[in-house]
Amino acid sequence: MYSKETAADEGRYLLHLLACVINGSKPSELPDGMSFEKVYELAQKHNVGAMSFAAVEKLSVKPSEELLGQWREQRDKEFCRDVIQRSEYSAICRAFAERGVRMLPLKGILIKSLYPKSYMRMMSDIDLLIDAENADTVRGIMLSLGYTAESFGAGSEDVYHKEPLMSVEIHRSLFSESEMEGLSGRHFGDPWQHSRHTGGGVYEMSANFFFGYVLAHAAKHYLEAGTGIKHFMDMQLISRGYGSLIDTGVLGKLMRSENVSLCRDMLRLSEQWFGEAEPDGSLGSMEEFVLSSGVYGSRQNALDRKLAEKGRLGYLLYELFIPADRIVYDYPVLEDKPYLLPVIRLRRLFDKTAGDPQLLKMNIKSLLRHR
């Protein structure tokens, strides 16, 4: 298992490999004392294995044949996933248009086109926003396309799967009510007013609003459980791809001031990692936090941050009385039996560490460290 120091060392070399792919430059050889196995494992944890292979195969001294084969296999899998996802997305767009349902594609399916090769941006599912009143119609469409409804009507999104690897999340809002309140809900409540019709049933967010949404989404992950390298590459490539269309001043209109400050720091770190800015050491703690967020400690990072912010008692009260709309997705029984909410709140505390004694031990240590 990684220590923070190991994650940072191998992590910085992984960042170098990814930056070389983005910027079309030749990567430096693996420094002495580092391990390709650890770089590969970290790349897998951050879902950048396929992209990093594009740099690894250009090295003079490559990993062992076995590891290089695993790395190449990861690239091939993501290439196939990308082809299937883009084909399915086109089919979904056509089906929605035929039924007169408008949609707003979110995050990955749009960001993919900004990467050197679309397969390099790993995407576990396709995220689409619809009008809430069209949810039943969309369910019929998805079932007709061969999908099964894994979750429907629970929380703010419905989840559909199709073998062998397709997953589609149909959102009725960009964020849940509690998430929007934490960010600055009034501005993310109606994304349609910041979008334009591009043909068929597809709409497209304005460059500024899309950029703000991507940053808000990354900030949400950062504050909740830590975020990975991939989000920072997204920021850099969106900044380059949209260029002068983006006004970072819009962030102050979309989010609370403390979140604006966080997003600006994330943008600075993205520029230091993948752009032309020189590291100045001022974002060292954020760098360490992100590099360790992709490994086992991400949940621990989240707990430590919440304890530092709220204190031990405040954290326990927060976990006990977390908003219901944040719980119903994991416990859909609440849809039909809302009176079980007090019981589910207690059960949730145990479920978070069930079957993982090491995580339970780490959580107890964190609780004891904070007052």
Final residue before a domain boundary, out of 272, 295, 318? 295
- Residue 133, domain member (yes or no): no
Residue 313: give the domain boundaries: 299-371
Among 242, 243, 232, smallest CA distance to 273 is for 232
Place of tokens 């964020």: 175
Domain end call among 43, 63, 83: 63
Among 63, 84, 101, the domain-final residue is 63
Instruction: Write the CB contacts of 27 (distance below 8 Å, at least 6 apart in sequence).
Output: 16, 17, 20, 55, 56, 58, 59
Q: What are the helix and strand counts (H, E) for the chain?
A: 17, 7
Distance, CA of 279 to CA of 290 (rounded, Å): 15
* Same domain (yes/no): 289, 214: yes
- Residues 291, 214: one domain? yes
For residue 141, being part of any structural domain is answered with: no
Q: Please indicate, yes or no, whether residues 280 and 352 belong to a single structural domain of this protein.
A: no
Q: Is 47 left (phi over 0), alpha (psi -120 to 50) or beta?
A: left
Per-residue pLDDT of the chain (371 residues; tens, 9 = 90+): 334 444 568 999 999 999 999 999 999 999 999 999 999 999 999 999 999 999 999 999 999 999 999 999 999 999 999 999 999 999 999 999 999 999 999 988 999 999 999 999 999 999 999 999 999 999 999 999 999 999 888 778 899 999 999 999 999 988 766 666 555 555 677 899 999 999 989 999 999 889 988 988 888 888 776 788 999 999 999 999 988 888 777 666 666 666 778 888 999 999 999 999 998 888 888 898 888 775 434 556 566 666 666 777 777 777 777 777 667 656 767 777 888 888 888 777 666 555 555 555 656 666 666 66
Residues 289 and 318 in one domain: no
Count up the domains in the chain and report the number. 3
Decide if 29 is inside a domain: yes
Residue 190 lies in a domain: no
77 domain residue, yes or no: no
Q: For residue 59, how many C-alpha atoms fall within 13 Å in the half-sphere facing its CB? A: 19
DSSP string, 34-101: --HHHHHHHHHHTT-HHHHHHHHTT-SSPPPHHHHHHHHHHHHHHHHHHHHHHHHHHHHHHHHHHTT-
